């Protein structure tokens, strides 16, 4: 398949131009024009790029790319990553906020679906656009049960902060570093915020607001969108795909 056809599809399907994002979404590094094998991963680390090259991938599609506003100097890790991409003739495509917010394959829609919840409405406003989603159980569920399901289906450890309700109906999902949505969760009377990471200041904010939080790991909560996108691309283009795991434990 032709690279430009794939890139055009991804740009349109993910609506990358709609999101104000520090990440330079889209084709970040140009390589081969003909695509036979596509690698998917969460992060464009040197290790991930090397693994994709070893597997003869022609393009690597990630959530976290290597260009965040710009590259000042092509030295150090920037040089190593770019050299490895150039030596392999590999393209690099990144989709950050567009892949969080997508209504079909997005990380946050997929998080709710792990709990058998249908996305009810957008949530988690960031720079004027919502990148998360809300869902609601038909009957209240214990926070411990929700955490257990997330842990099993994500194959991870889920930590809960029971600062609000323990019986949960209304759930907000913002993957990765989603604690910025705590005050919106409080305003919208959400019972539980599901996110990926939780810092000291976030803890204190949630405590003061009385919001319960489930933290499932930045990496694990953001494998979902990449994997879902991989299935869409595989079905549409009938091309070989691989997913490269590179967990951080964070």
Are the C-beta atoms of residues 61 and 95 closer than 8 Å to each other?
yes
Structure confidence at residue 38 (pLDDT) = 98
Listed by start position, the domains of the chain span: 3-97+223-243, 100-221
Residues of the chain with pLDDT under 50: none
Q: In this predicted model, what pLDDT tens digit does every residue of 211-222 receive, in sequence order?
A: 999 999 999 999
Are the C-beta atoms of residues 24 and 68 closer than 8 Å to each other?
yes
Structure confidence at residue 70 (pLDDT) = 87
Are the C-beta atoms of residues 93 and 27 closer than 8 Å to each other?
yes
Place of tokens 């393009």: 59
Out of 3.40.1390.30, 2.60.120.10, 3.30.1490.20, 3.30.428.10, the CATH code matching 100-221 is: 3.40.1390.30
| Listed residue (198, 193, 226) closest to 65, CA to CA | 226
Structure confidence at residue 86 (pLDDT) = 98
* Same fold: 3-97+223-243 with 100-221: yes
pTM beyond 0.95 = yes
Which residues sit opposite 91 in a β-bridge? 59
Going by their DSSP bridges, the two strands 192-195 and 167-173 should be labelled as: parallel
Are the C-beta atoms of residues 115 and 129 closer than 8 Å to each other?
no
Are the C-beta atoms of residues 172 and 188 closer than 8 Å to each other?
yes
Structure confidence at residue 187 (pLDDT) = 98
Out of 3.20.20.70, 3.40.50.300, 1.10.3720.10, 3.40.1390.30, the CATH code matching 3-97+223-243 is: 3.40.1390.30
């Amino acid at each position: 398949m032709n690279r430009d056809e794939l890139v055009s599809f991804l740009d349109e399907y993910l609506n990358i131009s709609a999101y104000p994002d520090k990440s330079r979404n889209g084709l970040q590094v140009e390589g081969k024009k003909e695509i036979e094998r596509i690698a998917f991963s969460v992060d464009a680390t040197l290790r991930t790029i090397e693994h994709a090259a070893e597997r003869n991938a022609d393009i690597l599609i990630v959530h976290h790319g290597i260009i965040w506003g710009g590259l000042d100097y092509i030295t150090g890790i920037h040089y190593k990553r770019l050299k490895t991409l150039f030596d392999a003739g590999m393209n690099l495509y990144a989709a950050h906020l567009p892949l969080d917010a997508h209504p079909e394959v997005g990380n946050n829609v997929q998080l709710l679906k792990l709990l058998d919840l249908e996305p009810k409405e957008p949530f988690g406003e960031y720079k004027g656009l919502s990148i998360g989603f809300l869902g609601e159980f038909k009957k209240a569920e214990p926070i411990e049960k929700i955490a257990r399901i997330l842990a099993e289906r994500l194959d991870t450890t889920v930590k809960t902060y029971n600062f609000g309700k323990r019986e949960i109906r209304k759930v907000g999902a913002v993957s990765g570093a989603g604690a910025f949505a705590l005050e919106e969760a409080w305003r919208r009377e959400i019972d539980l915020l599901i996110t990926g990471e939780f810092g000291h200041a976030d803890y204190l904010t949630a405590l003061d607001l009385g919001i319960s939080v489930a933290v499932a790991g930045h990496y694990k909560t953001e494998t979902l969108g990449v994997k879902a996108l991989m299935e869409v691309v595989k079905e549409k283009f009938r091309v070989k795909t691989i997913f490269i795991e590179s967990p951080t434990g964070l």
